[in-house]
Chains A and B, each alone.
Chain A
Amino acid sequence: AQSVTQLDSHVSVSEGTPVLLRCNYSSSYSPSLFWYVQHPNKGLQLLLKYTSAATLVKGINGFEAEFKKSETSFHLTKPSAHMSDAAEYFCVVSRAAGNKLTFGGGTRVLVKP
């Protein structure tokens, strides 16, 4: 069975400082991993996806994530936060059968001016 744990429910950063969102997963096989972002009352937007081609994955809006199999982690980072990055972020793992996704509980990011 797959599971996803986002280690921080809330993260607060100042504009222009780095952002780190932590995600650990468990899976009985080599999964696909995703990060999605959700702004208030909106749908989810795909930030990036890992599918075993490269361990460092670059996404949209300056975000990137590193897959570390030994640590079963897939942390999301951005070098410099912008006010528009204030949103909720979900780490997601795909399940083998039926293309079903398992979502983490989400991390809400607050960006202070």
Chain B
Amino acid sequence: DGGITQSPKYLFRKEGQNVTLSCEQNLNHDAMYWYRQDPGQGLRLIYYSQIVNDFQKGDIAEGYSVSREKKESFPLTVTSAQKNPTAFYLCASSPRRGQDTQYFGPGTRLTVL
């Protein structure tokens, strides 16, 4: 099956700890994205990558970091500097640079205790 996988589905973290969320796609898409969703709100862009070894900040990048060492993988690290990390995190991909239909993974719900 082709698609986007995110793991884990639920994640709990203590304050002050860094945590990494996984996103993998086997669609051979060039571009990948990370979004954050808070209750009752739309999605906000954290980081995006249009090609391997390159990525750009989105609208709310503070307290987050990413890497893009492989085409199929785009992990997101939520650092201790992120003030309100509890949220639903969604990863997406699109086929090519500038090709705008994005396809979403199932999401990871992060809760900071």
Query: Across the interface, do A43 and B104 meet the contact criterion of CB distance under 8 Å?
Result: yes
Query: Across the interface, do B90 and A43 meet the contact criterion of CB distance under 8 Å?
Result: yes
Residues of A within 8 A of B42 (CB): 4, 90, 103-106
Query: Across the interface, do A101 and B102 meet the contact criterion of CB distance under 8 Å?
Result: yes
In the complex where A94-B100, A105-B40, A106-B41 touch, is A99 in contact with B107 (Cβ < 8 A)? no
| Bound Cα distance A85, B10 (Å) | 25
Query: Across the interface, do A103 and B105 meet the contact criterion of CB distance under 8 Å?
Result: no
Q: Which residues 12-53 in B have Cβ within 8 Å of A in the complex?
A: 31, 40-45, 48, 50
Minimum CB–CB distance from A76 to chain B (whole Å) comes to: 15
Query: Across the interface, do B106 and A101 meet the contact criterion of CB distance under 8 Å?
Result: no
| Bound Cα distance A104, B97 (Å) | 23
Minimum CB–CB distance from B68 to chain A (whole Å) comes to: 14
Query: Across the interface, do B99 and A99 meet the contact criterion of CB distance under 8 Å?
Result: yes
Select which of B40, B43, B103 is within 8 A of A103 by beta carbon.
B43
Residues of A within 8 A of B94 (CB): 99
Task: Give 1 or 0 for each of A97-110: 1 = CB within 8 Å of chain B CB.
Answer: 01111011110000
Asked whether A32 is an interface residue with its Cβ less than 8 Å from the other chain, the reply is yes
Asked whether A69 is an interface residue with its Cβ less than 8 Å from the other chain, the reply is no
Asked whether B56 is an interface residue with its Cβ less than 8 Å from the other chain, the reply is yes
| Bound Cα distance A90, B40 (Å) | 11
Residues of A within 8 A of B2 (CB): none
Asked whether A84 is an interface residue with its Cβ less than 8 Å from the other chain, the reply is no
Q: Which residue of B lies closest to A108 (CB)?
A: B40
| Bound Cα distance A46, B92 (Å) | 12
Query: Across the interface, do A98 and B50 meet the contact criterion of CB distance under 8 Å?
Result: yes
Which residues of chain A have a CB within 8 Å of any CB of chain B?
Answer: 4, 9, 32, 34, 36, 41-46, 49, 90, 94, 98-101, 103-106
Return the 3 tightest CB-CB contacts between A and B, nearest first.
A103-B42, A43-B104, A44-B104
